[in-house]
Amino acid sequence: MYKHILIFMKIISLAIKSQLLAFGLLAGTLYAAEPPIELGRVESGPVASSYPAEATIEALDASTVAAQVQGRVVDVRVDAGSRVSRGDILMRIDASEADQAVAAADALVAQARANLSNARASYDRNRSLVARNFISRSALDQSEANWRAAEAQLKAATASRAQAATNRGFATVTAPISGIVSARLIEQGEMAQPGRALLSMYSPGAMRAVADLPQYKLDQLRKGALKARVEFPTEGRWVDATSVTLLPSADPQTHTVRARVQLPSALPGVVPGMFARVHFLSGEAPRITVPAAAVLRRGEVTAVYVSDGKGGFRMRQVRLGEALDESRVEVLAGVAGGEELALDPVRAGMAVKSAAAR
């Protein structure tokens, strides 16, 4: 009986050992099949020098639509995010007062026409009487003056009527441009006043970055053709500016000059009000740069994993300068030109911990 139990236990032990061996071989195979960590090189040499400045994105074609007549808003057809075409109706303002003004102007036009007709008839009669010497010449001159005055009154009444009709047209608010409504600033039922902003909108086709430059940098930047690259830090995206324009005056309070940096048309995801950083290019300067993918950021620690040339890595803290583009960043201290870095610092850190555990 005990022999059978011992034989059974040996069989189970052999089975467990064979499974552990198979698992170890599989794990070793998987570990061996894992691709090596790709390396990047620290480069030292002249690169484009730039001056970074914080900027705000704005649309080239933007508009704030304001009320031109007084009245209650009775119809609102758009909201923030709505796409509209030029001439589309955005909202309507109560036109009762404007209708009454047009009706009053129509009455004044009718009165002026009647006065003109009467004055013309009086002039014609007086001219016939003068020909027969029944009235004096001065009476004819007076009737002619009345006729000319009646003509002027009719023109004034007609102009007033046209103005009233135009004001009534302002009760229907239409889109001045084709684009997107960025904000609606009034609700249905509220009272609109002349000059009160109703909504704002912009055309998404063309954008620019607006930055302020200190005046001590202007001479350096104006040495050659002014060029710039625009960085969107939150997205890690860089774009080349199509043109850079410096305004011909400085702000008297900040003593800065505003730069308008034109962006390529139809950039996806770029909307007015976004934060950007403009890098104004100004010649070349020697710098040490590393691949951006090699930089590891953990809280306040910024580091890279330097290859030891034997398949291992050593973590080394670095002090970064400015980003040169989406792929490389300047290093002020911590590495030297020619060293190789892990382009996957997370895997490199795991490999260092695994080697230390062994």
CATH of the domain at 274: 2.40.30.170
* pLDDT tens-place string over residues 257-313: 999 999 998 788 899 999 999 988 877 778 888 888 888 888 888 888 888 877 788
| Amino acid identity for residue 177 in this structure | I
* pLDDT tens-place string over residues 33-49: 567 888 888 888 777 77
Domain boundary among 154, 181, 202: 202
308 in a domain, yes or no?
yes
Q: The tokens 């009455």 sit on which residue?
A: 107
Judgement on whether residues 188 and 82 belong to the same structural domain of the protein:
yes
Under 8 Å between Cβ of 60 and 202: no
Judgement on whether residues 265 and 335 belong to the same structural domain of the protein:
no
Judgement on whether residues 209 and 276 belong to the same structural domain of the protein:
yes
User: How many folded domains does the chain comprise?
Assistant: 4
Least confident of 21-25, 71-75, 162-166: 21-25
| Res. 12: pLDDT tops 70 | no
> What local confidence, expressed as pLDDT, does residue 34 receive?
66
CATH of the domain at 87: 2.40.50.100
Judgement on whether residues 158 and 139 belong to the same structural domain of the protein:
yes
Judgement on whether residues 89 and 99 belong to the same structural domain of the protein:
no
How far is 342 from 50, CA to CA, in rounded Å?
Answer: 27
Under 8 Å between Cβ of 193 and 120: no
Take residue 21 and report the two structure tokens written for it: 């061996």
Judgement on whether residues 255 and 324 belong to the same structural domain of the protein:
no
How far is 13 from 7, CA to CA, in rounded Å?
Answer: 10
Q: At what angle do helices 137-169 and 96-131 cross, to 10 degrees?
A: 160
What are φ and ψ of residue 163, in 5° steps?
-65, -40
Please tell me the pTM assigned to this model: 0.65
151 in a domain, yes or no?
yes
Under 8 Å between Cβ of 130 and 102: no
Domain boundary among 169, 186, 213: 169
Take residue 128 and report the two structure tokens written for it: 């016939």
Judgement on whether residues 159 and 129 belong to the same structural domain of the protein:
yes
Domain boundary among 153, 169, 185: 169
* pLDDT tens-place string over residues 222-239: 776 788 889 898 888 889
Q: How many CB atoms lie within 10 A of CB 222?
A: 11
Judgement on whether residues 291 and 194 belong to the same structural domain of the protein:
no
112 in a domain, yes or no?
yes
Q: How confident is the model at residue 74 (pLDDT cuts 50, 70, 90)?
A: very high
Mean pLDDT of 97-117: 87
349 in a domain, yes or no?
yes
* pLDDT tens-place string over residues 147-200: 888 889 989 989 988 888 888 888 899 999 999 999 999 999 999 999 999 999
335 in a domain, yes or no?
yes
Judgement on whether residues 295 and 273 belong to the same structural domain of the protein:
no
> What local confidence, expressed as pLDDT, does residue 63 receive?
92
How far is 328 from 292, CA to CA, in rounded Å?
Answer: 5
> Which residue has better confidence, 221 or 91?
91
> What local confidence, expressed as pLDDT, does residue 276 receive?
93
Judgement on whether residues 303 and 242 belong to the same structural domain of the protein:
no
List, as one string, the DSSP characters of 48-87: EEEEEEEEEEEESSEEEEE--S-EEEEEE---TT-EE-TT
343 in a domain, yes or no?
yes
Q: How confident is the model at residue 23 (pLDDT cuts 50, 70, 90)?
A: very low
| Amino acid identity for residue 121 in this structure | A
State the residue range of the domain holding 191: 70-94+171-202
Q: How confident is the model at residue 25 (pLDDT cuts 50, 70, 90)?
A: very low
CATH of the domain at 127: 1.10.287.470
> What local confidence, expressed as pLDDT, does residue 21 receive?
41
12 in a domain, yes or no?
no
Judgement on whether residues 209 and 269 belong to the same structural domain of the protein:
yes
13 in a domain, yes or no?
no
Judgement on whether residues 234 and 269 belong to the same structural domain of the protein:
yes
